[in-house]
């Protein structure tokens, strides 16, 4: 692996961190290795981040179903956070990777980049 793996990890980490704001960690805690530590075992850190994303994706679906139930007096999130949860969930639902690990990584990397770009546009008032 090369510097590209570090960029991949950073992009995946963005998505994992956004999910962490919405859902608690249920499996492996999110790792944040330094660059040199990452270079010694890049596959390990990319794999852990993917596992974190997949766990959080499943939890987000459950939380949204509960929060959006009619008559729910205690929604899990406030309005803005609920909108963000819905936005992230919609992006994640577009994912349809094969069982190939590299395909899974590239799919969630693309989603992360798209979410980041959309977040910047929203912050600028473009959307």
Task: Name the one residue in this structure whose structure tokens are 């992360």.
Answer: 112
Question: Structurally, how many domains does the chain consist of?
Answer: 1
Q: What is the pLDDT of residue 23?
A: 85
**Rounded Cα distance, 31 and 33, in Å:** 6
* Residue 55, pLDDT score: 92
Instruction: For the chain of 127 residues, list the mean pLDDT of each consecutive stretch of 10.
Output: 84 94 80 91 94 92 81 69 90 89 95 89 58
Q: What is the pLDDT of residue 126?
A: 53
| 3-state DSSP of 60-73 | HHHHHHHHCCCCCC
User: Residue 116: what pLDDT?
Assistant: 92
* Domain interval for residue 45: 3-124
How many angstroms separate the CA atoms of 107 and 96, rounded?
8
């Amino acid at each position: 692996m090369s510097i590209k793996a570090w960029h991949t990890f950073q992009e995946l980490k963005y998505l994992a961190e956004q999910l962490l704001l919405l859902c608690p960690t249920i499996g492996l805690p999110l790792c944040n290795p330094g660059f040199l530590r990452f270079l010694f075992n890049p596959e390990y850190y990319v794999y852990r981040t993917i596992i974190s994303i997949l766990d959080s994706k499943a939890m987000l679906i459950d939380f949204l179903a509960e929060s959006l139930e009619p008559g729910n007096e205690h929604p899990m999130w406030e309005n803005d956070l609920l909108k963000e949860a819905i936005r992230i969930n919609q992006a994640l639902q577009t994912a349809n990777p094969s069982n190939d690990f590299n395909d899974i990584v590239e799919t969630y990397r693309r989603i992360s980049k798209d979410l980041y770009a959309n977040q910047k546009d929203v912050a600028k008032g473009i959307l």
